[in-house]
Amino acid sequence: MPSTTTRGLIAPHGGTLVDRLAPNADELRKEAESLPTITLSPKQSCDLEMITIGAFSPLTGFMGEADFKSVCTDMKLADGNIWPIPILLAVQDAPKVGSRVALKAPNGVLQAIMTVEEVFPHDKKLEIPHVFRTEDEAHPGVAQVMSEGDTCIAGPVESLTVCVDPDGPEAFLDFRLTPAQTRDAFSERGWRTVGAFQTRNPIHRAHEYLCKCTQEICDGLLIHPLVGETKEGDIPAKTRMECYQILIEKYFRPDRTMLSVMPAAMRYAGPREAVLHALVRKNYGVTHFIVGRDHAGVGNYYGTYDAQNIFDELDSDNLAITPLKFEHAAWCKACEGMASGKTCPHGPEEKIFLSGTKVREMLREGKTPPMEFTRPEVAEALTAWARG
């Protein structure tokens, strides 16, 4: 059943925490045997899971045309709630309005049944430039949308599962908490203010610095890596999770730190995706969201702080979650520690600048990241992965 909030925590986006996991799974499974089937892409399967568990609240299914157009042009749902990226089920052959269809994950697992309430054209010329600020098909998000179907179907979903591959390497069942579960965990720990760190990379020293600054102002920290679909070349989630666990065990206070995974797909949409990531964390019960340099960016498509500046354009009351805007942090040889432009007087010649891209480059070259870059235990885990 839907709920609003948990013992004083921040309200979910739109006011109600959605839950689309059906209680009658056996009946739905039997019904699906006679229904037409749509096999979802990895991104669509991730989106369906996010809808199911309420991470995409207030969405109860894939978006209709009014929401789609409003999101593209105004970054709002048709009801006025902030929403930055369309959540669509684009197909090549659309079923009729009023029909029911079985939605299967890429591995063939029956994931949900959907009632088709709307069929409309997938206006890629509207979506792509608004969402990605580019039409360059070299951009992974643009390429992904271009490869999708030309027709969208919309309607509520009745889901049978929240994890289509529980035995897979990226299931992380012990860490795969729903928004309702993280909210309960925060309440049990007595956390009223919670900061969240979004990542698709191993945590290096700059990330650690941002996380610990956040812990100074919040009751607790949720390290919340994305484990859904990412682009080729990103470090696998299994390796990243090992690094997170090592780091938390040795360098974070366990009573102030929590690790969970988010089964979302990356869009690499920069500023708009930063807003989506914030709203999702709001649904998980988070009050403060870390927005660092080039959040959810790729290549040179976005300015260094575009993902921070976009929050200044939004209705803060509707957004509700507080963005924590950090400048580029680096190891300063003169200060002998992590610092940023706000805290350190020394020039770039004294800095060792850090990034996930730099880590991947070093690993490809067979180099071990230095202590100023990442903790030695994390470096060891990464080099072990790189060696295969």
Annotated catalytic residue, options 133, 200, 281, 375: 200
Q: What 8-state DSSP symbol labels residue 110? A: E
Annotated catalytic residue, options 176, 183, 201, 272: 201
Is the dihedral angle over the CA atoms 349, 350, 355, 357 positive or is it negative?
positive
Beta carbons of 192 and 285 less than 8 angstroms apart:
no
Report the C-alpha gap between 246 and 234 in whole angstroms.
19
User: Which residues have C-beta within 8 Å of that of residue 218, sequence separation ≥ 6?
Assistant: 191, 193, 194, 195, 287, 288
Total residue length of the chain? 388
Mark whether 201 is an active-site residue: yes
How many other CB atoms are found less than 10 A from the CB of residue 232?
5
Mark whether 256 is an active-site residue: no
Q: Which of these, 57, 55, 10, lies nearest to 218 by C-alpha position?
A: 10
Structure tokens at 357: 């891209």
Report the C-alpha gap between 84 and 86 in whole angstroms.
7
Structure tokens at 189: 């720990």
Report the C-alpha gap between 18 and 178 in whole angstroms.
11
Report, as residue numbers or ranges, the catalytic residues.
200-201
